């Protein structure tokens, strides 16, 4: 209660002081134009009172503060009146003084705070990054060299394995499929390459998978950060866009969007703890308390060709039949994309059926006596994919953000544009891809750049869930660890500067965009 | 024209007012942040202390125990003497103490013991504990916002802080008052360049194994007398289908430290104290085959199929404190952990000779005929030069503190194993139970005794790469050779 009361009093005082400054300064500089002598006397008194307060406050001389302030104010006022005898400047120069005075009074404090809170610490960090761990001796760029050469922060030695990973070949196939579709459709329309969902989709997914192939083989803190940026930015934006489009104009839109937006209200630390419970694994002989491992182990308990598995297969078979029907329906109606979608969805279902009939699915490993026992997934300990499980947390939080912004942008697309497209005979899908998407591209860029900046600085989630162990370290957590756990301020500052430099392009791009939009 | 101007001015005015309002709110938010730091944290601690007091009130006998113990401590004459000096005019002053002990038992007992001194002197003493103390104290000290007194679990860190001139040398008067109360050499670990920077707070005995006596009885196992016997015991248990060990090394930002303890205990045993001292001092690299070999010895033991029960799914994912429950439940038979582990056993566990959980000395190599013991401990150091701060520092070094804390912590543990151990020479050993007296005996018969090595190493290693790289090796992300090469590379030049 005391803290709340104190805070309220603080609010009142702060608002009062700011309001007084606002009206006082406006009044004072109005005086400068209209009544020069009063202006000089008042500003003299103010400056005098300030000097008096500084003298008494710093114990330069004895006596109560109010006395010093009052005496100096009178002296200042007298000096101001005396100065006015010397003459009054021309009206134009008085106006200029008034304008500049306002500028300094209103801009000064914020510039001062920006300098104290941002600019000076930045310069100091850059300076510290060139010193050794105890901030004593000049070491030049050695700290930056350390970041680039330490295998924990950048390890490119495994690059040849990119070309032997399964992900790499999956990516190649997807990109080839996308290019193939694009070129096939393009040839029919007399172009080399046609950009349409059927071609761009596989290529985008292929590039995404390719990035996984790269990021799982090249390791280190810096690589992890890049991986975070690619995956979280990409998936949050894509899922947010999908949610915005699919929920648009549907009944229950607000409920659905609220649910997706809800995780935004949870702090990163809170989300980290929640998801740690989702991922938790217990010894195989104990009941699993983690949600995901409980499901995984339950799946594993459905042995191939047992009662439970047959039930599962039966359900999955029904789903397959349903999907096949949908596919046939699509082919008949010449809805190619619809048919392809149904067919693609059937692939994982068929895979599940295969696992239930054949080798078995889920967490189970042969025990010491050959009898199968539960096998758990150590989501947070098994590198390198533990990184992805951490990213899921941030995607879970940020999808809501992307969805809200993109949804607003979609609703702001002028209906004239859409109607014009309809009149020209565009289908729903063509309207979306060729009218709505190009119109909201600026918003998508803003969402993506904002996310890049946010993801680059990811810290809390990693700190809470793995503390940077098991190959999940990111730059921000490494920075904290180096500077404050290991007391290596040089290296910590260098990491801070690296993070800053990595964020700057995205920030600059974002700000320029906003400025252009305003102008 | 004029009308137009007024309207735009009014618009501008309202906009500016909005900005002013927002600014005011921000200022107020900042102000309330300060309130949080200054007011709420201690208030929360107090509330917690009160709550736990209430809980113990329910149990009248326990309450009596505690009061009695407190009275005993208060009646102590020497205490009254020492308080007369300090009593002068310190009432109304405030001393903040910040440390790593954050469990209700440990932090609560610490506050209880400090309250005894607070009641006698009128100094308001507030203890705050944080699990990630090691990180936080660095940030606080570097940011110029430290507590008055900090409890350091690592003498190496006391040295680091002394080198930064963040902590103050202990004045001669305080040193004279406490110097004779501690065993010879126990202040050496926090003496740097001939100057004393810390006062001992508590001692931990690390070379012990907690075991489930029911499993030992039903399996016909006997307490091993040598390291070889310990290995044979592990193999026997595995053959019988008993999980021998509970191991967990997760500890938030300090994940990995239990592994460093195993390492140190085994370097002392398989190698010797000279190798240990060179290794800790940085004269012997981690990449030395003797050190790498010791780590591989530890990991081979842990990685024997079925040898380790890890409550969190894997050793690296299991919090060190989560090993108490499975040990009592019989999921594993043994757990190597320091004397403070009593505080992590489930409430109501009977501990001691012939009880559910007992302790044996982590055995040495028979052929060497020695009895190496690994110890650790926490030290308090002062950040502020004020009479009340030094009065509290002196109290930390006194037998009265050890007695009051021992009594309070035992009462909070339900009158059983307190988990607190002090090396103070004047303390009242009758406050200890049988098991704890046996700890004191192990400490006294140690040859050689060595302080926890990772706590003596530079922070970049001892509180940095030894933990992180050790965790990588335990988790199988790296081989021991790779991990230890990285530790060597991180050793400050």
Q: What is the reported pLDDT for A193? A: 75
Could you read off the pLDDT of B450-490 as tens digits, one per residue?
899 998 998 889 888 999 999 999 999 899 999 999 999 98
Q: Which residues of A touch B481 (CB under 8 A)?
A: none
Q: What is the reported pLDDT for B62? A: 44
Instruction: For residues B256 and B366, state if they share a domain.
Output: yes
Q: Quote the DSSP letter at residue A427.
A: -
Q: What is the reported pLDDT for B45? A: 38
Instruction: For residues B362 and B256, state if they share a domain.
Output: yes
- Asked if residue B3 is part of any domain, the answer here is no
Closest Cα of chain A to B307: distance in Å?
12
Instruction: For residues B355 and B295, state if they share a domain.
Output: yes
Instruction: For residues B337 and B281, state if they share a domain.
Output: yes
pTM score of the predicted model: 0.78
ipTM of predicted assembly, 2 dp: 0.78
- Asked if residue A402 is part of any domain, the answer here is no
Q: What is the reported pLDDT for B300? A: 94
What residues of chain A, 373 to 412, have a C-beta less than 8 Å from chain B?
A: 376, 378, 380-381, 383
Name the packing angle between helices A437-456 and A386-411 (round to 10°): 140
> Which residue reads 């309809």 in tokens?
A422
- Beta-carbon separation of A6 and B35 below 8 A: yes
CA separation for the pair B435, B444 (Å, rounded): 14
Question: How far from each other are the two terminal CA atoms of chain B, in whole angstroms?
Answer: 75
Closest Cα of chain A to B77: distance in Å?
41
Q: List, in sequence order, the alpha helices (H) in B122-171.
A: 133-142, 155-163
Instruction: For residues B98 and B116, state if they share a domain.
Output: yes
Q: What is the reported pLDDT for A94? A: 84
Instruction: For residues B339 and B290, state if they share a domain.
Output: yes
- Asked if residue B443 is part of any domain, the answer here is no
Report the 10 Å Cβ neighbour count for B107. 22
- Asked if residue A175 is part of any domain, the answer here is yes
Tell me the pLDDT band of B393, cut-offs 50, 70 and 90: very high
What percent of chain B clears pLDDT 70, i.e. is strictly above it?
82
Of the candidates A8, A19, A471, which has its C-beta nearest B20's C-beta? Answer: A19
Phi, psi of B147 (to 5 degrees): -75, 175
- Asked if residue A484 is part of any domain, the answer here is no
**Structural domain ending residue among the three candidates A218, A238, A265:** A218
- Asked if residue B243 is part of any domain, the answer here is yes
Sign of the alpha-carbon dihedral angle for A480, A481, A482, A487 = positive
What percent of chain B clears pLDDT 90, i.e. is strictly above it?
47
**Structural domain ending residue among the three candidates A195, A218, A241:** A218
Q: How many beta-carbon pairs under 8 angstroms link A with B? A: 126
- Asked if residue A504 is part of any domain, the answer here is no
Give how many domains chain B has, as a whole number: 2
CA angle B443, B448, B453 (to 5 degrees): 90
Q: What is the reported pLDDT for A456? A: 93
- Asked if residue A30 is part of any domain, the answer here is yes
CA separation for the pair A312, A297 (Å, rounded): 15
- Beta-carbon separation of A486 and B35 below 8 A: no
Q: What is the reported pLDDT for B22? A: 53
**Structural domain ending residue among the three candidates A164, A187, A218:** A218
Q: In terms of CA atoms, which chain A residue is nearest residue B469?
A: A469
Q: What is the reported pLDDT for B280? A: 93
Least confidently predicted of A336-345, B53-62, B207-216, B281-290:
B53-62
> Which residue range forms the structural domain that includes residue A96?
2-108
- Asked if residue B113 is part of any domain, the answer here is yes
Instruction: For residues A13 and A69, state if they share a domain.
Output: yes
CA separation for the pair A241, A410 (Å, rounded): 9
E strand spans, B331-456: 334-336, 357-361, 373-382, 449-451
Instruction: For residues A6 and A104, state if they share a domain.
Output: yes
Q: What is the reported pLDDT for B73? A: 47
Instruction: For residues B346 and B428, state if they share a domain.
Output: no
Q: What is the reported pLDDT for A12? A: 93
Could you read off the pLDDT of B118-143 as tens digits, one per residue?
999 999 999 999 988 888 898 899 88
Of the candidates A14, A152, A283, which has its C-beta nearest B486's C-beta? Answer: A152
- Asked if residue A138 is part of any domain, the answer here is no
- Asked if residue A23 is part of any domain, the answer here is yes
Residue B2 has pLDDT above 60, yes or no: no
CA separation for the pair B471, B405 (Å, rounded): 34
Instruction: For residues B235 and B89, state if they share a domain.
Output: no
Instruction: For residues B100 and B217, state if they share a domain.
Output: no
Instruction: For residues A79 and A173, state if they share a domain.
Output: no
- Asked if residue B34 is part of any domain, the answer here is no
Least confidently predicted of B9-13, B137-141, B445-449:
B9-13
- Asked if residue A205 is part of any domain, the answer here is yes
- Asked if residue B20 is part of any domain, the answer here is no
Could you read off the pLDDT of B405-422 as tens digits, one per residue?
988 888 887 766 777 888
What residues of chain B, 276 to 335, have a C-beta less than 8 Å from chain A?
A: 305-306, 309-314, 316-317, 331
- Beta-carbon separation of A485 and B16 below 8 A: no
Give how many domains chain A has, as a whole number: 2
- Identify the residue among A381, A476, A483, A492 best suited for mutation to test binding to B, counting B beta carbons within 10 A and taking the highest: A381
Instruction: For residues A25 and A98, state if they share a domain.
Output: yes
- Asked if residue B10 is part of any domain, the answer here is no
> Which residue reads 């090469």 in tokens?
B485
Residue B182 sits in a domain whose CATH number is 3.40.190.10
Q: Buried b vs exposed e over A62-98: b needs ≥16 C-beta within 10 Å?
A: eeeeeebbebbbebbbebbeeebeeeeeeeeebeebb
Report the 10 Å Cβ neighbour count for B104. 15
The low-confidence residues of chain A, meaning pLDDT below 70, are: 1-2, 303-305, 337, 359-374, 517-519
Q: What is the reported pLDDT for B181? A: 85
Instruction: For residues B193 and B55, state if they share a domain.
Output: yes
Taking a C-beta distance cutoff of 8 angstroms, is the pair B103, B48 a contact? no
Could you read off the pLDDT of B303-326 as tens digits, one per residue?
998 899 998 888 999 999 899 999
Q: Buried b vs exposed e over B237-276: b needs ≥16 C-beta within 10 Å?
A: bbeeebbbbbbbbbbebbbbbbbbbbbbbbbbbbbbeebb
Instruction: For residues B221 and B235, state if they share a domain.
Output: yes
What residues of chain B, 113 to 172, have a C-beta less than 8 Å from chain A?
A: 134-135, 138-139, 142, 160, 163-164
> Which residue range forms the structural domain that includes residue B168?
39-203+377-433
Taking a C-beta distance cutoff of 8 angstroms, is the pair B137, B143 a contact? no
- Beta-carbon separation of A22 and B17 below 8 A: yes
């Amino acid at each position: 209660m005391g803290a709340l009361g104190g805070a309220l009093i603080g609010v009142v005082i702060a608002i009062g002081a700011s309001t007084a400054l606002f009206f006082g300064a406006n009044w004072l500089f109005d005086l400068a134009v209209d009544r020069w002598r009063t202006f000089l006397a008042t500003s003299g008194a103010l400056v005098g009172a300030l000097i008096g307060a500084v003298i008494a406050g710093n114990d330069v001389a004895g006596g109560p503060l109010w006395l010093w302030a009052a005496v100096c104010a009178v002296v200042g006022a007298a000096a101001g009146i005396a100065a006015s005898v010397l003459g009054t400047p021309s009206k134009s120069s008085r106006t200029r003084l008034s304008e500049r005075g306002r500028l300094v009074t209103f801009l000064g404090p914020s510039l001062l705070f920006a300098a104290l809170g941002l600019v000076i610490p930045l310069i100091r960090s850059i300076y510290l990054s060139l010193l050794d761990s105890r901030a004593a001796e000049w070491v030049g760029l050695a700290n930056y060299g350390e970041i680039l050469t330490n295998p924990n922060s950048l390890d490119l030695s495994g690059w040849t394995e990119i070309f032997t990973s399964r992900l790499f070949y999956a990516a190649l196939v997807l990109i080839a499929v996308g290019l193939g579709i694009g070129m096939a459709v393009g040839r029919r329309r007399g172009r080399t390459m046609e950009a349409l969902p059927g071609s761009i989709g596989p290529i985008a997914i292929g590039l995404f998978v390719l990035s996984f192939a790269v990021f799982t083989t090249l390791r280190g803190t810096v690589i992890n950060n890049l991986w975070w940026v690619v995956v979280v930015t990409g998936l949050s934006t894509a899922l947010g866009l999908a949610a915005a489009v699919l929920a648009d104009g549907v009944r229950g839109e607000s409920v659905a969007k609220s649910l997706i937006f809800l995780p935004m209200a949870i702090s990163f630390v809170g989300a980290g703890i929640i998801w740690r419970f989702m991922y938790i694994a217990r010894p195989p002989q104990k009941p699993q308390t983690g949600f995901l491992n409980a499901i995984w182990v339950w799946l594993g308990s459905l042995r191939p060709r047992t009662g439970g598995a047959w039930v599962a297969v039966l359900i999955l078979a029904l789903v397959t039949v349903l999907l096949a029907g949908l596919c046939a329906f699509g082919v008949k109606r010449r809805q190619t994309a619809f048919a392809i979608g149904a067919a693609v969805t059937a692939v994982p279902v068929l895979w599940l059926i295969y696992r239930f009939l054949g080798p078995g699915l889920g967490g189970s490993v042969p025990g010491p006596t050959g009898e199968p026992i539960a096998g758990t997934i150590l989501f947070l300990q098994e590198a390198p994919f533990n990184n992805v499980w951490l990213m899921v947390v941030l995607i879970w939080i940020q999808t809501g953000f992307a969805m809200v912004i993109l949804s607003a942008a979609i609703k702001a697309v002028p209906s004239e544009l859409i109607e014009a497209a309809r009149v020209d005979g565009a289908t729903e899908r063509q309207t979306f891809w060729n009218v709505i998407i190009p119109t909201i591209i600026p918003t998508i860029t803003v969402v993506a750049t904002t996310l890049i900046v946010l993801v680059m600085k990811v810290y809390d989630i990693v700190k809470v869930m793995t503390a940077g162990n098991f190959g999940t370290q990111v730059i921000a957590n490494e920075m904290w660890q180096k500077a404050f756990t290991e007391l290596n301020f040089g290296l910590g500052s260098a990491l801070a500067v690296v993070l800053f430099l990595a964020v700057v392009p995205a920030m600059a791009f974002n700000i320029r965009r906003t400025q252009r939009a305003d102008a | 024209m004029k009308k137009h101007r007024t309207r735009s001015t009014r618009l501008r005015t309202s906009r500016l007012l909005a900005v002013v309002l927002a600014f005011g709110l921000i200022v107020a938010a900042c102000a309330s942040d300060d309130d949080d730091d200054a007011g709420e944290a201690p208030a929360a601690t107090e509330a917690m202390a009160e709550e736990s007091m209430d809980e113990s009130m329910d149990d009248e006998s326990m309450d009596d125990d505690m009061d009695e113990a407190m009275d005993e401590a208060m009646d102590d004459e020497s205490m009254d003497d020492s308080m007369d000096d300090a009593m002068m005019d310190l009432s109304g002053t405030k001393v903040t103490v910040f440390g790593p002990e954050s469990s209700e038992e440990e932090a609560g007992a610490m506050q209880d013991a400090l309250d005894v001194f607070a009641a006698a002197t009128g100094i308001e003493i507030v203890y705050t504990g944080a699990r990630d103390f090691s990180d936080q104290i660095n940030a606080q000290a570097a940011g110029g916002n430290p507590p008055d007194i900090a409890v350091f679990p690592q003498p190496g860190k006391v040295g680091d802080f002394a080198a930064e001139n963040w902590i103050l040398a202990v004045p001669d008067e305080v040193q004279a008052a406490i110097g004779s109360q501690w065993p010879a050499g126990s202040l050496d670990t926090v003496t740097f360049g001939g100057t004393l920077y810390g006062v001992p707070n508590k001692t931990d005995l690390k070379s012990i194994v907690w075991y489930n006596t029911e499993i030992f009885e039903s399996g016909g196992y006997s307490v091993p007398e040598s390291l070889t016997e310990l290995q044979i015991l592990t193999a026997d248990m595995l053959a019988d289908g008993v999980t021998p060990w509970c191991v967990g090394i997760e500890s938030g930002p300090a994940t990995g430290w239990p592994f460093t303890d195993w390492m140190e205990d085994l370097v002392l045993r398989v190698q010797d104290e000279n190798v240990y001292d060179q290794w800790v001092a940085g004269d012997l690299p981690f990449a030395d085959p003797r050190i790498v070999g010791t780590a591989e010895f530890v990991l081979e033991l842990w990685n024997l199929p079925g040898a380790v029960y890890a409550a969190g799914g894997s050793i690296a994912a299991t919090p060190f404190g989560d090993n108490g429950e499975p040990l009592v439940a019989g999921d594993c038979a043994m757990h190597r952990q320091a004397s403070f582990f009593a505080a992590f056993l489930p409430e109501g566990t009977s501990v001691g000779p012939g009880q559910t959980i007992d302790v044996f000395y982590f055995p040495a190599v028979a052929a060497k005929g020695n009895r190496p013991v690994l110890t650790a401990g926490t030290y308090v150091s002062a950040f502020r030069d004020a009479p009340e701060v030094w009065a509290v520092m002196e109290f930390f070094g006194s037998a009265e503190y050890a007695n009051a804390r021992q009594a309070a912590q035992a009462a909070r543990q339900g009158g059983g194993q307190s988990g607190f151990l002090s090396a103070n020479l004047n303390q009242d050993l009758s406050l200890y139970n049988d098991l704890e007296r046996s700890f004191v005996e192990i400490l006294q018969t140690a040859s050689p005794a060595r302080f926890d090595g990772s706590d003596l190493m530079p922070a970049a290693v001892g509180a940095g790469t030894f933990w992180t790289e050790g965790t990588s090796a335990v988790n199988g992300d790296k081989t021991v050779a790779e991990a230890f090469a990285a530790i060597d590379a991180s050793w400050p030049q």
